[in-house]
Each structure stands twice: as C-alpha cells, then as structure tokens.
Amino acid sequence: MTLQVSIPAKAILELNSQILELDFPARCSRCNMPNAPFFETHPLHYRADLMPNRNVAHRYRINRSFSLRLPLCETCYRASFIEDPESFSADATPLGKVARVRSACIKIAAGIALVGFILLMDIVPVNTIPFLWLYVILTGVGLLGIVFGATVLMSKRLRSTLPGSDYNIRYPRAIVYEAIETGKPAPNKTAVFLRIRNETWARECAEKHQWKIDSTDSPSVKENEK
Ligand SMILES: [Zn+2]
C-alpha cells in the first residue's frame, strides 16, 4: 500500500537551508537497511501567496526552491542512478560528478544543435561552407547520442554490480510533489505531498514530525487528486 505523508507549509517556511532532510527513521527508505548514509533527492519549488494584478507573469510572495532528501543505503543509491541520473546532479559523490558531467554535455549538445538551426534559418549570413548548418546539427545530435549511449552503458555496469538474485529494490522511488497556493498558506496547510510505499518508514517519519499520514486509497486523498 502507498502512504501519503502531508508536509505542512510551516516545515518549508522554517527551513534554514535549501534541503529538507528527512533523516528519521535512520534506515534506508527503500529497503529498510540500517546503514543509510546516502539519499534520494527530489527537487521542489513551493509557491504561495500570489501577488494580485499580475495576470501576465504570475509572481508569488513565497517562492522557495529546495530539495527533499530521503535516506538510502549504498546499494539503493547506486540502483537509483539507473532510474533517474538527473536527480544526482547536486550530490557530492562520484555518481554526482558523473551526473554533472552528463548534464553539462547535454546542455552543450543542445546549444550546438540550436546554433545549427539558427544557421539553417539564415538569420546570420554565413556562406563560407555549404551545408554548414547540417554539420553543426549533426555534431550536436551526435554528442547527445554519445551521452545517452554512455548513460546506458554505465547503467548496465551499475546493474551488474548490484547483488544479483537476492537484491531487489523493495520499494520504488517515492513520488513527491508540491502544492501551489494562491492565498497566504496557513501553517498547517499541506505544502508537499510525499507518497511512499515503505509503510513502516513513512509511519515512523510522520509520527516523529507529527505530520498527517493517509493511505492513497482514502477518500480525502482521492478528493485531492481531482
Ligand atoms: Zn536500501
């Protein structure tokens, strides 16, 4: 069963850093392993209290970008790279470094392809080499292909280092999303919804912080989804 922990606005507004670390219970949130020095990261952006009379660009008085982190053991950490390498970009770990290089290469490749399209549209007159735009686009696309190919190879290698038949990520990656409030949020109004399959972990975490917890089958949670 999936449980939904409702994290109130108070917890987000009182944050002193860019990270909301849910380090209790101190065991892996995916397989319950007691040693969990790594984490699963979810980047979030909480907005509330919309400024009136700004119909074109919506501006909010409360505008907070932060990451929610859940504890992971080393094996689940490595396994989660296969699912979502992007979420590793801020990590101070060797896999975090790989994710940053990967993300930089994707940006460079997209930039090169964009230059190719600009040349194709003839906005900047460059007539020195025929079909220059095509070579530039192919370079960008080729670089993207190399990056994605390398990611697939790396995931394959990581998968082979995981303990074989006796290892199975027990629970999937949590689903986390933030609310957007047009009004001023009451301290107890839910700002972040955390959906997690590890029931014992979720219950202990919610109990410690005194946060609301529901089953995703409950009528109130279903009502929220509408
Ligand atoms: Zn684990």
What is the SS3 string spanning 159-172?
HHHCCCCCCCCCCC
Question: Residue 161: pLDDT band by 50, 70, 90 thresholds?
Answer: confident
Same domain, 188 and 134: no
Domain boundary among 112, 129, 160: 160
In 10 A of CB 149, how many CB atoms? 10
Stretch 35-59: mean pLDDT: 86
Stretch 203-208: mean pLDDT: 96
Q: How far apart are CA 134 and CA 213, in angstroms?
A: 55
Tell me the one-letter amino acid at 142: G
* Phi and psi angles of residue 217, each rounded to the nearest 5 degrees, phi first: -90, -10
Residue 167 counted as domain residue? no
215 C-alpha to center of ligand 1: Å?
A: 23
Same domain, 144 and 100: yes
Domain count, the chain: 2
Stretch 76-93: mean pLDDT: 90
Instruction: Specify which residues 43 forms β-bridges with.
Output: 67
pLDDT score for 59: 87
- Choose the weakest-confidence range: 16-30, 93-107, 163-177: 163-177
pLDDT score for 165: 46
Question: Is residue 85 reached through a cis peptide bond, with omega within 30 degrees of 0 on the bond before it?
Answer: no
pLDDT digits (tens, 9 = 90+) for 188-199: 999 999 999 999
197 C-alpha to center of ligand 1: Å?
A: 13
113 C-alpha to center of ligand 1: Å?
A: 39
Same domain, 102 and 206: no
Residue 220 pLDDT exceeds 90: no
31 C-alpha to center of ligand 1: Å?
A: 4
pLDDT score for 160: 83
41 C-alpha to center of ligand 1: Å?
A: 14
221 C-alpha to center of ligand 1: Å?
A: 27
25 C-alpha to center of ligand 1: Å?
A: 13
Residue 224 counted as domain residue? no
Same domain, 146 and 49: no
pLDDT score for 116: 87
Stretch 207-224: mean pLDDT: 81
Residue 117 pLDDT exceeds 50: yes
Contact 151, 83 (CB under 8 A): no
Same domain, 4 and 71: yes
Stretch 130-151: mean pLDDT: 90
Residue 112 counted as domain residue? yes
129 C-alpha to center of ligand 1: Å?
A: 55
76 C-alpha to center of ligand 1: Å?
A: 4
Range of the domain at 148: 88-160
Residue 109 counted as domain residue? yes
The answer to whether the pTM exceeds 0.85 is no
222 C-alpha to center of ligand 1: Å?
A: 29
79 C-alpha to center of ligand 1: Å?
A: 9
97 C-alpha to center of ligand 1: Å?
A: 21
CA dist list (Å): 171 to 30, 83, 200: 5, 13, 12
CA dist list (Å): 214 to 11, 172, 192, 225: 18, 18, 14, 13
100 C-alpha to center of ligand 1: Å?
A: 23
Residue 117 counted as domain residue? yes
Question: Residue 54: pLDDT band by 50, 70, 90 thresholds?
Answer: low
4 C-alpha to center of ligand 1: Å?
A: 20
Same domain, 96 and 26: no
Tokens of 36: 């969990």
201 C-alpha to center of ligand 1: Å?
A: 12
Residue 224 pLDDT exceeds 70: no
191 C-alpha to center of ligand 1: Å?
A: 27
Q: How far apart are CA 205 and CA 109, in angstroms?
A: 42
Contact 2, 185 (CB under 8 A): no
Stretch 94-109: mean pLDDT: 93
Same domain, 62 and 97: no
Tell me the one-letter amino acid at 95: L
In 10 A of CB 131, how many CB atoms? 11
pLDDT score for 219: 66
Residue 96 counted as domain residue? yes
Domain boundary among 160, 187, 211: 160
167 C-alpha to center of ligand 1: Å?
A: 10
pLDDT score for 171: 82
Residue 126 pLDDT exceeds 90: no
Share the mean pLDDT of the chain. 88
In 10 A of CB 204, how many CB atoms? 14
- For the chain, the C-alpha Rg in angstroms (whole number) is 22
